[in-house]
Amino acid sequence: MHIAIIMDGNGRWASSRNLPRSTGHRAGARSVNTIVEAAARCGISTLTLYAFSAANWQRPRAEVRALFALFRRHLLTQTQRCLEQSIRINVIGRRDRLGPGLCELIDHSERATAKCTAMTLRIAVDYSSRDSLIAVCKRAPGEAIVDRSRFLEKLAAVDHAVAPAPAVDLLIRTGGEKRLSDFLL
């Protein structure tokens, strides 16, 4: 089973309580640990978390820095926990706009957990389905026929996915919105 979660509404939650948006993001990040562990216990094979969309670059610079600081901290602290639970980490999305230090940290977490088999934890960072689909089309201009499995392989390569993901069985959006926001179209 593949569960996908659009992690949404943390900043609004904090703002509604007269707290800084970053407080909401930290609270949301803490809940990720609970969600990952529960998914693994329930036998979920793939969990995809939409952590940072390509559109999120438009947020205030301080908020973007705070989100990436949280992401770095989580990779540093949770990679070992994932290893202990045999959870494979895979960060999907663009990497060309991420700093070299963060890319090295992502590579380290992915390599360290590469042999884990209990669950695949996919974290979508600087991710856009539309951009991924366009990139696949640009990479295959001479191919007249692309079947579904070949297309999914190309899409996985564009997204830095370790393998094509199974179809999503359940999509959850935590903030109450009812739209996909360019996630796993």
Q: Mind spelling out the 3-state secondary structure of the chain? A: CEEEEECCCHHHHHHHCCCCHHHHHHHHHHHHHHHHHHHHHCCCCEEEEEEEEHHHHHCCHHHHHHHHHHHHHHHHHHHHHHHHCCEEEEEECCCCCCCHHHHHHHHHHHHHCCCCCCEEEEEEEEECHHHHHHHHHHHCCCCCCCCHHHHHHHHHHHCCCCCCCCCCCEEEECCCCCCCCCCCC
pLDDT band, residue 129 (cuts 50/70/90): very high
What pLDDT digit, counting tens, does each position of 149-159 carry? 888 888 899 99
| pLDDT in the model for residue 30 | 81
User: What is the C-alpha to C-alpha distance for residues 137 and 109, in angstroms, rounded to an integer?
Assistant: 29
Q: Half-sphere exposure (CA, 13 Å, Cβ side) for 40? A: 22
> Average pLDDT of 156-182?
87
Least confident of 40-44, 47-51, 171-175: 171-175
At residue 145, does pLDDT exceed 90? no
Residues taking part in catalysis: 8, 56
At residue 177, does pLDDT exceed 80? no
- Domains of the chain from N-terminus onward: 2-128+161-173 (3.40.1180.10)
46 or 145, higher pLDDT: 46
Joined together, the tokens standing for residue 140 give 């295959």
Least confident of 103-112, 147-156, 165-174: 147-156
| pLDDT in the model for residue 152 | 87
pLDDT band, residue 14 (cuts 50/70/90): confident
110 or 162, higher pLDDT: 110
Mean pLDDT of the chain: 89
At residue 120, does pLDDT exceed 90? yes
| pLDDT in the model for residue 25 | 76
